[in-house]
Structure 1
Amino acid sequence: MTGLELYTATARRASSAVIAAYSTSFGMASRLLPPAMRGDIQTVYALVRVADEIVDGPGAESGLDVAACRRVLDGLEQEVERAIATGFSADLVVHAFAETARRVGIDRGQTAPFFAAMRRDLDPVAFADDRELRQYVYGSAEVVGIMCVRCFTVGHSLPDAEARRVARGARALGSAFQVVNFLRDLGADAQGLGRTYLPGLDPAHPTDEAVGRVLDRLEGELRIARGTIPSLPREARPAVTAAHDLFASLARRIRATPAAELPARRISVPRTEKAAIIARAALGAGLARASASSVRMPRPEPVR
C-alpha cells in the first residue's frame, strides 16, 4: 500500500465515523451495500453533513457569527474544488469525498448547487412560493441524490433513457427526504433557526389541510423513486429500498399526527420498525442478512 492509498483508506474510515454518529437510518440502510459502494456513499454523506453543521448550529455555538460561518463554508467549497482537481486534501472528509468524486464522476454540476443551498441557510428563510422552495430543494437534496446514483452506477452502462429515468428517481427521492424533514422539524426550524421552508404552511399553526398537501406531493415523489429502483444495479437496490421505506414510514406517521402537534413534537420511526424495514429490504433482495438481529443497532439519532 502506498502512502496515498493509506491516507485515502484512513480518510474513508473518518467518513464512516460521521454517518455512524449522525444517522441511524442512513447508516443502517448503507450496511446493505457492498463495502466499496458503502464507503463511497459514506464519503458523500460525511461532506454533506459537515457543510450542514456549519450552517445549522455548531459554528454559532463555537462563537462564530454569520459572516464567519459564511467564510468557513466558502472555504470548504473551495477546498472541495481544489481536492477534486488535484486528488488530495489535508481535510480527511474532503479528501475522501474528492477521491470518490473523481472516480465516479461527481463535479461542480452537483457541488455548486449544494453549497449555494447551504449558503442560503445562513440567512433567515421564508420561502414565499414554490419556485424558491424547489430551487433550494434541488441544491440541498436532489443533487445529493444524483451524487449517490453516480456512486451506485460507476462501472455500469445504462442506456440514455434509463439513465435519465434513474436520475429523475434519485432527484425525487432526495426531494422527498428533504421535505419529510421540513415537516418533522417545523418547530425547531422556525423557532430555533428562523427558517420557514414550506410556502402556505404556518410553522406555528399548521393545519391538517396544509400538511396534507405537502404530504401528497412528497408521497408522489416517493412513488416515482420506488418505480426506478429496479433500474439500479442489483447490489444497490436493497439499501435504496430500505432508505425509501424508512422515509415512507416516517411520512405515514406524520400524516397520522394532528397537524397542530407537529411544531412541538418531532416524529420518528421506532428502532424496532427501522430494523424490520431493513430486514425486509435485505430479504427481498435474497441476502443472507435478512433478520433484524443481524443489523447492529447504534444509539438513536435523528433522521437527516
Structure 2
Amino acid sequence: MNQTAPSRLPLYDATAEAASGVVIERYSTSFGLASRLLTKHTREHIRNVYALVRVADEVVDGPATEAGLDHELARTVLDELESDTERAIALGFSVNPVVHAFARTARVTGFGPELTRPFFASMRMDLDRTEHDQESFDRYVYGSAEVVGLMCLRAFVYRAGRPTFDDAVLVDGARALGAAFQKVNFLRDLHADFEVLGRSYFPGVDLRTFDEATKDRLVADVQADLDRAATTVRLLPADARNAVGLAHALFQELNDRIAVTPAHRLITTRVRVPNPVKARLAAQVLAGRAPLRSHATHHRTGGTA
C-alpha cells in the first residue's frame, strides 16, 4: 500500500513568512509596531509586501553598491528580481524566500503585475535619474509608494470576500497614504539622498537654497495626502483599522515635527519619533483616543525636533 509523503510546502511557506517578518522588524520600528495590531493572517501579508519592497529598495539604495555592483549590474539584479517575482506569482514558488512569501500574498489577495510592474519601474528610476520633474516625480511616487498602499489594501479586504475590491474611496485613501509616507521619508532623508546618493526627488527643490517657504510648501503637500487618507481609515475592515490608524498617526507626528524643524536643520538632521511617543500613540489608538486629525493649518515656530 503506497503512502503519500507529507507535504513540505507548508514548512517552506512558514519559513518564507518568517524571513519576511525579520525584514520588517529589522528595518522599520514604525511599520513593525503598526503591523502588530493586525490579525495574524493580515499581518503576515503586510510583512510579505514590505519585505519585497525593502529588498528591491536595497538593490538601488546602497547595499548593492557597497557589495561591488555597478549600476548596470544592479539593474540586472533588479530585472532578475522582477522576473522571479512575476514567475512566482504565476507558479506559486520561488527559491528566494522573500519573493516566495510575496507571491503567496499576491496570489491569495488578488493582485499581480498590474501593481508590481509600476513598482519595479520606479526602482529602476533610482538607477537612472538624479533629479525629477513633476511628471517623473508623480510617476515615481505612484510606483514606489501608492501601489504598495494598493497591495496592502488588497490584503486588508480579501478576507471579506472581495479579492478584486475596487472601491474608489478606499483606493484613493490607500494611494494617498502611500504617497504621504513616501514624501515624509523624502523630507526626512533630504541630506542623505542629496549628499550620499546624489538624488533630488522634489521637483525644483535645491538644497543649496532650501528655505522655510519651500519646507512649508512640501509639508502642506504631505498634509493634504494625510488628510485625504484620514477620511477613509474608518471604512477599512475592523482588523485593519487600528493598524492603519497607528501608521497614520506616526507619520502625522513626523510631519508635525518636520513642520517645526527649521529648514537649515532639516537638511542636516533626520527627524525621528522617539520610542516613548510611538508607544503613547499606540496606546491612544488602542484606547480609541487618537482621532484622525487634520493638521493642515497647524504650525508652531521655534520648536525642536
Q: Same fold (TM over 0.5)?
A: yes
Q: Does the aligned pair in 2 maintain the 1:184–1:266 contact within 8 Å?
A: yes
In structure 2, the partner of 1:213 is 217
In structure 2, the partner of 1:134 is 138
Larger radius of gyration: 2
* Aligned with 2:234 (options 230, 234, 244): 230
Per-residue CA deviation, residues 285-304 of structure 1 (Å, 9 max, x unaligned), is 99xxxxxxxxxxxxxxxxxx
SS of the counterpart of 1:204? helix
Alpha-carbon separation, structure 1, partners of 2:106 and 2:166: 22
In structure 1, the partner of 2:193 is 189
Structure 2 gaps of 5+ residues are: 1-5, 291-305
In structure 2, the partner of 1:295 is none
* Aligned with 2:77 (options 60, 72, 78): 72
Q: After superposition, where does 1:109-124 map in structure 2 within 5 Å?
A: 109-124=114-129
TM-score w.r.t. length of structure 2: 0.90
Superposition CA RMSD, Å: 1.6
Alpha-carbon separation, structure 2, partners of 1:157 and 1:39: 18
Per-residue CA deviation, residues 216-269 of structure 1 (Å, 9 max, x unaligned), is 111011011011011110110000000000000000000001111111111101
Q: Percent identity?
A: 50
1:161–1:23 CA distance, 2 compared to 1 (3 A): closer
TM-score w.r.t. length of structure 1: 0.90
SS of the counterpart of 2:159? coil
In structure 2, the partner of 1:293 is none
Higher relative contact order (CA 8 A, sep 6+): 1
* Letter of the 2:124 counterpart: R
Alpha-carbon separation, structure 1, partners of 2:151 and 2:166: 17
1:209–1:169 CA distance, 2 compared to 1 (3 A): same
- 2:287 aligned with 1:283: yes
How far residue 143 of structure 1 moved from its aligned partner, in angstroms, is 0.1
In structure 2, the partner of 1:177 is 181
Q: Does the aligned pair in 1 maintain the 2:174–2:229 contact within 8 Å?
A: yes
- 2:266 aligned with 1:262: yes
- 2:32 aligned with 1:27: yes
1:162–1:72 CA distance, 2 compared to 1 (3 A): closer
